[in-house]
Amino acid sequence: MLYSAMSIIKVEINYKNLLIAAIATGVVVLLFKLQTIITVFAVSFFIAYMFDPVVDKFEERKIPRSVTILVMMALTAALIVLLLAWLIPVAASELQYLSNNVANYVDSLFGFVQTSAAVFDIQLDVNTLKQHIGSHSSDYLKEIFSSMSSLMSSFSSMVSVILNIALVPILVFYFLKDFDKILAKMLEFLNTRFKMDFTGYYREFDNILSTYFRGQIIVAAILGLLYTLVLFIAGIKPAVIVGTVSGILSVVPYLGFIVGFTVSVILAALQYGDFLHPTMVIAGFALVQFFEGNFITPRILGGSLGLHPTAVIFSLMAGGALFGIGGMIIALPVAAFLRVLINQRSAQ
């Protein structure tokens, strides 16, 4: 049995294979060391990829790419500034509301714990629990402030983060300016290296990926607005923060719903201490999920990526575990390309 298995999987151990294994190992180690740089370049290239069709449309009308890119970046920056000018005061107000009511929320939580203990006939002294948590709260706060101060004191790390953020628009400009040339060079290299035409693969890959990413951003924005609206109607604070974060997390299947729903139900119970407001949150989120599953996602995305949600989650988690945010950005394109490759091979 062992012999038959070995006859199927034959690995020739020679200097060439050992060299290939050593180079592959070195590349993986190098990528681990360059996670930050990979993230900056991956984010920049992703943004350039998203906006390239717009630049191409204006280029067809004889407008120079550089002019289109600069105007588009200026408009995007202005839109971001206006959005932040509205969002920051609202978020600050909601955070202030939360900080002013932390004591009330803690009392409500202990009341809920005591009531639940009585229902299930559990012997629990809430006052002792309060004293225990209160006696250690200073230690918890010290640890939190210590971590924050050490993070803030790491000047070199802060400078690195600022520089990386500042590099993104510069890289986006150059990626967009020469996007078609970069793509042509890559396809030429692949066609020559592997002696096959990758152009057809790229067209299918580009169609799948562009539809998915642009559609996913639109879906996430719609869900963020709908979640925020549900929380406003239910009178839950902070509506904007929870709704926005839930929308952003919706790029990962079900994550935005799970986080937003859980946090919103807990806040509703703590803020009002009744069954009406949590029920309103549950009904609102259920309604949003119904429209998202039956109308929003099918119309905007359809089956564009062609990957099962579990495959999407695994790809994102694997990419994030290996190479951070940059890995998460690269993961789905790699998964989509593998799907295209498998489909093309199956059709042949």
Same domain, 223 and 82: no
Task: Evaluate whether residue 307 is within a structural domain.
Answer: yes
Residue 10 has pLDDT above 60, yes or no: no
Same domain, 17 and 164: yes
Range of lowest pLDDT (151-155, 178-182, 247-251): 151-155
Q: Look at residues 164, 187, 210 and tell me which one is the last residue of a structural domain.
A: 187
192 vs 175, more confident: 175
Q: What is the pLDDT of residue 8?
A: 43
> Among residues 76, 74, 54, which one has the least CA distance to residue 63?
54
Average pLDDT on 285-299 reads 86
Range of lowest pLDDT (97-101, 193-197, 244-248): 193-197
CB 183 within 8 A of CB 56: no
Task: Evaluate whether residue 192 is within a structural domain.
Answer: no
Same domain, 136 and 247: no
Tell me the pLDDT band of 5, cut-offs 50, 70 and 90. very low
Q: What is the pLDDT of residue 155?
A: 47
Same domain, 164 and 225: no
Q: Look at residues 145, 160, 187 and tell me which one is the last residue of a structural domain.
A: 187
Q: What is the pLDDT of residue 300?
A: 76
Average pLDDT on 98-122 reads 71
> Among residues 171, 208, 192, which one has the least CA distance to residue 339?
208
Same domain, 83 and 159: yes
Same domain, 34 and 153: yes
> Among residues 71, 341, 33, 60, which one has the least CA distance to residue 208?
341
Q: How far is residue 117's CA from residue 123's CA, in Å, rounded to a whole number?
A: 7
Residue 329 has pLDDT above 80, yes or no: no
- Domain tally, the chain: 2
Same domain, 78 and 176: yes
Range of lowest pLDDT (15-24, 156-165, 316-325): 156-165
Q: What is the pLDDT of residues 302-313, one digit of tens each?
A: 555 666 667 777
Boundaries of domain holding 88:
13-95+132-187
Range of lowest pLDDT (42-51, 228-237, 241-250, 318-327): 318-327
Q: Look at residues 187, 209, 226 and tell me which one is the last residue of a structural domain.
A: 187
Same domain, 183 and 217: no
Could you tell me the two tokens for 299? 């119309």
Tell me the pLDDT band of 345, cut-offs 50, 70 and 90. low
Q: How far is residue 280's CA from residue 285's CA, in Å, rounded to a whole number?
A: 9
Task: Evaluate whether residue 110 is within a structural domain.
Answer: no
3-state secondary structure the chain: CHHHHHHHCCCCCCHHHHHHHHHHHHHHHHHHHCHHHHHHHHHHHHHHHHHHHHHHHHHHCCCCHHHHHHHHHHHHHHHHHHHHHHHHHHHHHHHHHHHHCHHHHHHHHHHHHHHHHHHCCCCCCHHHHHHHHHHHHHHHHHHHHHHHHHHHHCHHHHHHHHHHHHHHHHHHHHHHHCHHHHHHHHHHHHHHHHCCCCHHHHHHHHHHHHHHHHHHHHHHHHHHHHHHHHHHHHCCCCHHHHHHHHHHHCCCCCHHHHHHHHHHHHHHHHHHCCCHHHHHHHHHHHHHHHHHHHHHHHHHCCCCCCCCHHHHHHHHHHHHHHHHHHHHHHHHHHHHHHHHHHHHHHHC
Q: What is the pLDDT of residue 3?
A: 45
